[in-house]
Amino acid sequence: MSMDPLSWLVSLEGVPSALASARDGIDVVLRDRGLRRTSPETTAESLLRGAHASAVLEGSASSLAEVRAGAGDEIAADAVRVSTELLALVPVLRRAPLQALARIHALAAAGSLPEERLGRPRDGEAAQRVRDLAQLLTSPTEAPALGVAALVHAELATAAPFPSHNGIVARAAERLVLVAKGVDEKSLVVPEAAHLALRAEYESNLRGFGSGKPAGIHSWLLYAAEAYAAAAEASPLRRDAE
Protein backbone atom coordinates (compact mmCIF):
# COMPACT_ATOMS: atom_id res chain seq x y z
CA MET A 1 0.00 0.00 0.00
CA SER A 2 1.29 3.46 -0.92
CA MET A 3 2.24 5.75 1.95
CA ASP A 4 1.82 8.78 -0.28
CA PRO A 5 -1.36 10.54 0.91
CA LEU A 6 -1.77 12.26 -2.46
CA SER A 7 -1.11 9.30 -4.73
CA TRP A 8 -4.74 9.56 -5.89
CA LEU A 9 -4.11 12.99 -7.38
CA VAL A 10 -1.79 11.80 -10.12
CA SER A 11 -4.40 9.31 -11.33
CA LEU A 12 -7.12 11.90 -11.98
CA GLU A 13 -7.87 12.23 -15.67
CA GLY A 14 -6.28 15.30 -17.18
CA VAL A 15 -4.96 16.71 -13.90
CA PRO A 16 -1.26 15.77 -14.06
CA SER A 17 -0.92 17.04 -17.63
CA ALA A 18 -2.82 20.25 -16.85
CA LEU A 19 -0.65 20.96 -13.81
CA ALA A 20 2.51 20.12 -15.74
CA SER A 21 1.51 22.56 -18.47
CA ALA A 22 0.84 25.27 -15.89
CA ARG A 23 4.22 24.62 -14.25
CA ASP A 24 5.91 24.92 -17.64
CA GLY A 25 4.22 28.28 -18.14
CA ILE A 26 5.42 29.51 -14.77
CA ASP A 27 8.94 28.31 -15.47
CA VAL A 28 8.99 30.09 -18.84
CA VAL A 29 7.96 33.40 -17.29
CA LEU A 30 10.45 33.11 -14.43
CA ARG A 31 13.28 32.11 -16.76
CA ASP A 32 12.63 34.17 -19.87
CA ARG A 33 11.48 37.34 -18.14
CA GLY A 34 14.69 37.75 -16.21
CA LEU A 35 14.54 35.86 -12.92
CA ARG A 36 18.23 36.55 -12.31
CA ARG A 37 17.62 40.28 -12.72
CA THR A 38 14.71 40.52 -10.33
CA SER A 39 14.89 42.67 -7.26
CA PRO A 40 13.17 42.64 -3.87
CA GLU A 41 10.98 45.40 -5.27
CA THR A 42 9.58 43.01 -7.88
CA THR A 43 8.71 40.49 -5.19
CA ALA A 44 7.14 43.26 -3.12
CA GLU A 45 5.04 44.32 -6.11
CA SER A 46 3.84 40.76 -6.65
CA LEU A 47 2.90 40.46 -2.98
CA LEU A 48 1.08 43.80 -3.08
CA ARG A 49 -0.92 42.85 -6.16
CA GLY A 50 -1.76 39.55 -4.52
CA ALA A 51 -2.85 41.22 -1.29
CA HIS A 52 -5.14 43.59 -3.17
CA ALA A 53 -6.74 40.78 -5.20
CA SER A 54 -7.20 38.61 -2.12
CA ALA A 55 -8.80 41.51 -0.27
CA VAL A 56 -11.25 42.15 -3.10
CA LEU A 57 -12.22 38.48 -3.10
CA GLU A 58 -12.80 38.84 0.65
CA GLY A 59 -15.10 41.85 0.15
CA SER A 60 -12.79 44.86 -0.03
CA ALA A 61 -13.84 47.77 -2.22
CA SER A 62 -10.35 49.30 -2.37
CA SER A 63 -8.54 49.85 -5.65
CA LEU A 64 -4.97 48.74 -6.25
CA ALA A 65 -3.92 52.41 -6.32
CA GLU A 66 -5.49 52.97 -2.90
CA VAL A 67 -3.80 49.90 -1.46
CA ARG A 68 -0.48 50.96 -2.96
CA ALA A 69 -0.88 54.36 -1.28
CA GLY A 70 -1.72 52.79 2.07
CA ALA A 71 -5.28 54.12 1.88
CA GLY A 72 -7.18 50.86 1.50
CA ASP A 73 -10.05 49.74 3.68
CA GLU A 74 -9.75 47.45 6.69
CA ILE A 75 -9.93 44.23 4.69
CA ALA A 76 -7.18 45.45 2.37
CA ALA A 77 -5.05 46.41 5.36
CA ASP A 78 -5.51 42.90 6.76
CA ALA A 79 -4.36 41.31 3.50
CA VAL A 80 -1.38 43.63 3.18
CA ARG A 81 -0.34 42.89 6.75
CA VAL A 82 -0.25 39.19 5.88
CA SER A 83 1.71 39.81 2.68
CA THR A 84 4.44 41.80 4.39
CA GLU A 85 5.37 38.90 6.69
CA LEU A 86 4.42 35.97 4.50
CA LEU A 87 7.80 35.02 3.08
CA ALA A 88 9.35 34.92 6.54
CA LEU A 89 7.06 31.95 7.15
CA VAL A 90 8.59 29.77 4.43
CA PRO A 91 10.95 27.90 6.80
CA VAL A 92 8.16 27.66 9.37
CA LEU A 93 5.83 26.05 6.84
CA ARG A 94 8.48 23.49 5.99
CA ARG A 95 9.14 22.38 9.56
CA ALA A 96 5.93 23.30 11.43
CA PRO A 97 3.03 24.02 9.05
CA LEU A 98 0.49 24.19 11.87
CA GLN A 99 2.42 27.09 13.35
CA ALA A 100 2.67 28.82 9.97
CA LEU A 101 -1.07 28.60 9.33
CA ALA A 102 -1.82 29.91 12.81
CA ARG A 103 0.52 32.84 12.23
CA ILE A 104 -1.13 33.73 8.92
CA HIS A 105 -4.49 33.91 10.65
CA ALA A 106 -3.06 35.91 13.54
CA LEU A 107 -1.69 38.45 11.08
CA ALA A 108 -4.91 38.65 9.10
CA ALA A 109 -7.22 38.99 12.10
CA ALA A 110 -5.06 41.26 14.28
CA GLY A 111 -7.23 44.05 15.60
CA SER A 112 -10.52 42.41 14.70
CA LEU A 113 -10.52 39.49 17.13
CA PRO A 114 -9.50 39.14 20.78
CA GLU A 115 -5.87 38.15 21.08
CA GLU A 116 -6.73 34.75 22.53
CA ARG A 117 -8.60 33.82 19.34
CA LEU A 118 -5.84 34.78 16.93
CA GLY A 119 -4.44 31.74 15.15
CA ARG A 120 -6.84 29.39 16.91
CA PRO A 121 -9.39 27.21 15.09
CA ARG A 122 -13.09 27.71 15.78
CA ASP A 123 -13.61 24.41 17.60
CA GLY A 124 -12.27 20.90 18.02
CA GLU A 125 -13.45 19.70 14.62
CA ALA A 126 -11.84 22.68 12.91
CA ALA A 127 -8.63 22.10 14.85
CA GLN A 128 -8.51 18.53 13.59
CA ARG A 129 -8.97 19.70 10.01
CA VAL A 130 -5.99 22.02 10.38
CA ARG A 131 -3.88 19.26 11.99
CA ASP A 132 -4.74 16.92 9.12
CA LEU A 133 -3.72 19.58 6.63
CA ALA A 134 -0.45 20.18 8.45
CA GLN A 135 0.28 16.46 8.39
CA LEU A 136 -0.40 16.41 4.66
CA LEU A 137 2.13 19.19 4.16
CA THR A 138 4.86 17.26 5.97
CA SER A 139 4.19 13.91 4.30
CA PRO A 140 6.41 12.82 1.39
CA THR A 141 4.49 12.88 -1.88
CA GLU A 142 5.07 12.51 -5.59
CA ALA A 143 2.12 14.77 -6.34
CA PRO A 144 2.92 17.97 -8.26
CA ALA A 145 3.62 20.94 -6.00
CA LEU A 146 0.93 22.92 -7.82
CA GLY A 147 -1.60 20.27 -6.87
CA VAL A 148 -0.54 20.41 -3.22
CA ALA A 149 -0.90 24.20 -3.20
CA ALA A 150 -4.34 23.97 -4.79
CA LEU A 151 -5.53 21.43 -2.24
CA VAL A 152 -4.24 23.47 0.70
CA HIS A 153 -6.03 26.53 -0.64
CA ALA A 154 -9.34 24.76 -1.22
CA GLU A 155 -9.30 22.92 2.09
CA LEU A 156 -8.74 26.10 4.09
CA ALA A 157 -11.25 28.11 2.07
CA THR A 158 -14.03 25.54 2.29
CA ALA A 159 -13.45 24.12 5.78
CA ALA A 160 -13.13 27.69 7.13
CA PRO A 161 -11.38 26.45 10.28
CA PHE A 162 -10.62 29.89 11.73
CA PRO A 163 -13.19 32.29 13.18
CA SER A 164 -12.51 34.89 10.45
CA HIS A 165 -10.43 35.74 7.37
CA ASN A 166 -10.38 32.17 6.02
CA GLY A 167 -10.24 33.27 2.38
CA ILE A 168 -7.23 35.50 2.98
CA VAL A 169 -5.55 32.71 4.95
CA ALA A 170 -6.26 30.17 2.20
CA ARG A 171 -4.85 32.32 -0.58
CA ALA A 172 -1.79 33.30 1.46
CA ALA A 173 -1.14 29.65 2.29
CA GLU A 174 -1.36 28.75 -1.39
CA ARG A 175 1.29 31.33 -2.27
CA LEU A 176 3.43 30.16 0.62
CA VAL A 177 3.31 26.54 -0.55
CA LEU A 178 4.37 27.60 -4.06
CA VAL A 179 7.43 29.30 -2.55
CA ALA A 180 8.26 26.58 -0.03
CA LYS A 181 8.08 23.80 -2.64
CA GLY A 182 10.34 25.63 -5.06
CA VAL A 183 7.81 26.47 -7.74
CA ASP A 184 8.29 30.21 -7.33
CA GLU A 185 11.05 30.82 -4.82
CA LYS A 186 10.97 34.62 -5.18
CA SER A 187 7.15 34.76 -5.11
CA LEU A 188 6.81 36.51 -8.46
CA VAL A 189 3.62 34.96 -9.83
CA VAL A 190 0.27 36.27 -8.57
CA PRO A 191 -2.26 33.47 -8.01
CA GLU A 192 -4.61 35.79 -6.11
CA ALA A 193 -4.93 38.04 -9.17
CA ALA A 194 -5.70 35.00 -11.28
CA HIS A 195 -8.48 33.94 -8.94
CA LEU A 196 -9.92 37.44 -9.07
CA ALA A 197 -9.78 37.54 -12.87
CA LEU A 198 -11.49 34.13 -12.95
CA ARG A 199 -13.78 34.94 -10.03
CA ALA A 200 -16.93 33.18 -11.24
CA GLU A 201 -15.02 29.98 -11.97
CA TYR A 202 -13.02 30.31 -8.78
CA GLU A 203 -16.05 30.58 -6.53
CA SER A 204 -18.01 27.91 -8.39
CA ASN A 205 -15.17 25.40 -8.23
CA LEU A 206 -14.56 26.11 -4.56
CA ARG A 207 -18.22 25.27 -3.90
CA GLY A 208 -17.73 22.06 -5.87
CA PHE A 209 -14.67 21.15 -3.83
CA GLY A 210 -16.56 21.91 -0.64
CA SER A 211 -19.20 19.35 -1.56
CA GLY A 212 -16.59 16.66 -1.00
CA LYS A 213 -17.67 14.85 -4.15
CA PRO A 214 -14.93 13.43 -6.40
CA ALA A 215 -16.23 15.40 -9.39
CA GLY A 216 -15.97 18.64 -7.45
CA ILE A 217 -12.40 17.93 -6.32
CA HIS A 218 -11.45 16.94 -9.87
CA SER A 219 -12.93 20.13 -11.30
CA TRP A 220 -11.17 22.27 -8.71
CA LEU A 221 -7.78 20.84 -9.63
CA LEU A 222 -8.40 21.42 -13.34
CA TYR A 223 -9.49 24.97 -12.55
CA ALA A 224 -6.36 25.48 -10.44
CA ALA A 225 -4.15 24.56 -13.39
CA GLU A 226 -5.89 27.26 -15.43
CA ALA A 227 -5.48 29.74 -12.60
CA TYR A 228 -1.77 29.03 -12.20
CA ALA A 229 -1.23 29.71 -15.90
CA ALA A 230 -3.02 33.04 -15.43
CA ALA A 231 -0.96 33.71 -12.28
CA ALA A 232 2.20 33.60 -14.37
CA GLU A 233 0.72 36.11 -16.80
CA ALA A 234 -0.19 38.39 -13.88
CA SER A 235 3.41 38.52 -12.65
CA PRO A 236 5.03 41.97 -12.58
CA LEU A 237 7.79 40.36 -14.64
CA ARG A 238 5.45 40.34 -17.61
CA ARG A 239 4.87 44.08 -17.55
CA ASP A 240 8.44 44.90 -16.62
CA ALA A 241 9.72 43.01 -19.65
CA GLU A 242 7.34 44.64 -22.13
Looking at per-residue pLDDT, the higher value among 162 and 2 belongs to 162
Question: How much is the pLDDT for 159?
Answer: 98
What is the band of 241 on the pLDDT scale with cuts at 50, 70, 90?
Answer: very low
What average pLDDT score do residues 120-139 get? 97
Rounded to two decimals, the pTM is: 0.95
What does the alpha-carbon distance between residue 8 and residue 206 come to, in Å, rounded to a whole number?
19
- DSSP readout, 213-232? -HHHHHHHHHHHHHHHHHHH
Domains of the chain: 40-241 (1.10.3290.10)
Q: Is the pLDDT of residue 138 over 90?
A: yes
CA atoms within 13 A on the CB side of 226: 15
Instruction: Write out pLDDT tens, residues 43-57.
Output: 999 999 999 999 999
Backbone angles phi, psi at 212, to 5 degrees: 80, 0
Question: How much is the pLDDT for 196?
Answer: 98
Which helix (H) or strand (E) segment is 90 a member of?
helix 90-95
Cα torsion through 80, 58, 148, 17, rounded to 10:
-110
Backbone angles phi, psi at 189, to 5 degrees: -85, 160
Instruction: Write out pLDDT tens, residues 191-216.
Output: 999 999 999 999 999 999 999 999 99
What is the band of 3 on the pLDDT scale with cuts at 50, 70, 90?
Answer: confident
Residues 193 and 231: beta-carbon distance below 8 Å:
yes
The amino acid sitting at 38 is T
Residues 137 and 93: beta-carbon distance below 8 Å:
yes
Instruction: Write out pLDDT tens, residues 159-180.
Output: 999 999 999 999 999 999 999 9
